[in-house]
Amino acid sequence: MDLSFNNRDPVYLQVVRYFKEQIAIGDLTAGQEISSRRELAGLLKINPNTAQKAYKEMEEQGLITTERNFPSRITTDEKILNAVREELILEAVSSFIASVRPIKVPLDELIKMVSEKYSQPGE
């Protein structure tokens, strides 16, 4: 797993974010079993206590469920899974808007450019 962390945001939140991305792109699906905390620490090369904290946060957000003595799983709650996807898309759209707004491009011109670019492969 190749994931580089930045040093200024809490690592456990970056891990949660990574899981959300995996859910949004469909690499992690409803009910799928996930690595143990210890395995995750090894895979992502992070402190095991940080991995533990990330799992606790994901449990609190309802992203994963853990039953005693069983591996954790991605939730089967479609509402939560759809919300994750929506959250990430909205976030990306907001940051896109924030970066083009200062250029003051007319909306219909912008939408035209977006739809042209979007259909080009590899973009």
Partner 1 sequence: MIEVKNLTKKFGRRRVLENVSFTAEKGQITCLIGINGVGKTTTLKAIMGLTPYKSGTILIDNEPISKQVYEKITFIPDAAIMPPSMTIGEALVFMQDFYSNWNNERALELLKFFNLKEEFRIAELSKGNTAKVNLLMGLAIDVDYILMDEPFSGIDIFSREQIANVFTSHLIEDRGVIITTHEINDIEHLIDKVILLDNGSVLKEFYTEEMRSQEGKSVIDVMREVYRA
Cα 15 to Cα 66: distance, rounded to the nearest angstrom: 17
In the complex, the smallest distance separating the C-beta of residue 17 from partner 1, rounded to whole angstroms, is 14
Cβ closer to partner 1: 13 or 113?
13
Contact 96, 54 (CB under 8 A): no
Q: Which two tokens stand for residue 88?
A: 């990430």
Cα 10 to Cα 59: distance, rounded to the nearest angstrom: 17
Cα 85 to Cα 81: distance, rounded to the nearest angstrom: 7
Cβ closer to partner 1: 45 or 101?
45
Kindly indicate which of the ranges 8-16, 26-34, 59-67, 97-105 contains the residues binding partner 1, using the contact rule CB under 8 A: 8-16
Residue 100 DSSP SS3: helix
Nearest-10 crossing angle of helices 11-24, 37-44: 100
Is residue 33 close enough to count as binding partner 1 by CB under 8 A?
Answer: no
Window 36-75: contact mask with partner 1 (x via CB under 8 A) = --x--xx-xxxxxxx--x----------------------
Cβ closer to partner 1: 8 or 117?
8
- By CB under 8 A, the residues from 99 to 118 that bind partner 1 are none
CA dihedral 80, 83, 88, 93 (to 10 degrees): 180
In the complex, the smallest distance separating the C-beta of residue 87 from partner 1, rounded to whole angstroms, is 20
Q: Which of 1, 8, 68, 103 binds partner 1 (CB under 8 A)?
A: 8
